[in-house]
Structure 1
Amino acid sequence: MVETRLTGRIFLAAATLAGTALAPALANAEPAAEANWSTLNLTVSSANRDEVPRNAVLNCHPAGGTHPHALSACQTLNAVGGDLTKLTEAQSTCNFIHKPVTYTARGTWQGRPVTFEKTYSNKCIADASTGKVFAF
């Protein structure tokens, strides 16, 4: 009986020491995982004051948020390392009607701050330039 209690206490002490030893390692592991997390607050606004700006939250690594095309948007951003200024206009048949639209992104990409704002001459050109990133 004494041996059972002694063995139990030794096991408990060993488990406590192991848990204490792992705590700093786990604490240091969290920032690395957090560094891969990416969250952008996206806004599409028009020069027309009658139109209400639209907003979405895009999470990447893993893809999610309120963005309806999160996976495609994250793939587009992965291709440019999260740098929205590197998004270029794809081939399109957009018209040249001047109806400005502003796309804004604020947040973090893999731990780095992101600030992006660009006004395009119309929504067609903006969408052709940014893919699914602002398609919400």
Structure 2
Amino acid sequence: MTNPTHAVRGGLLAALALLTVGASAPARPAAVQGDWLYVSLTRGDARSSDTRGTLLLCDPPQGHGRATEACAELRQTDGDITRIPHRNAICTEIYAPVRATAEGQWNGRTIAYEQTFANACVMAARTGSVFALSD
């Protein structure tokens, strides 16, 4: 005879595993024309599940509250996030890690970017408006 506690626990673990796999896969656009990036932010350490993201479209700019600015910054650097000019900012030295990722297409090239910053202020100073997702 099967122990009902073990059966319920096993079912819950299986359901949790399925939800985790489904939640970690970002939505990918099927057929998007023009320049686009799927941008996402994960706050906290590697075990965190505080991840959110959005599709940034640049033809015309849309996707988050500062899409126009983000697309303009990306156009100036030909889609290279690492070349966005750093802003002068006074950031605290509080460690609150933020992992920023971007995947997509720019001028027909595949873009893949991932960087972990000490905190959101440092990230904004180095990446401009690209990861300025609304709260």
User: If the length of structure 2 is used for normalisation, what is the TM-score?
Assistant: 0.68
Aligned CA RMSD, in angstroms, stands at: 1.9
Letter in 2 for 1:93: I
How far did residue 62 of structure 1 move? 1.9
How far did residue 132 of structure 1 move? 1.1
Matches of 1:108 and 1:125, distance apart in 2: 25
Letter in 2 for 1:131: G
* Partner secondary structure for residue 53 of structure 1: strand
In terms of fraction of residues, the more helix-rich structure is 1
Letter in 2 for 1:104: T
Alignment correspondent of 2:104: 107
Alignment correspondent of 1:122: 119
Q: Does 1:63 align with 2:100?
A: no
- Whether the 8 Å contact between 2:41 and 2:98 is mirrored in structure 1 is yes
- Whether the 8 Å contact between 2:82 and 2:127 is mirrored in structure 1 is no
- The count of aligned residue pairs is 101
Q: Which runs of 5+ in 1 are unaligned?
A: 1-33
Larger radius of gyration: 1
Residues 78-108 of structure 1: CA distance to partner in whole angstroms, max 9, x if unpaired? 1111011212421001111111111100010
Q: Which runs of 5+ in 2 are unaligned?
A: 1-30
Alignment correspondent of 1:38: 35
- Whether the 8 Å contact between 1:37 and 1:60 is mirrored in structure 2 is yes
Alignment correspondent of 1:9: none
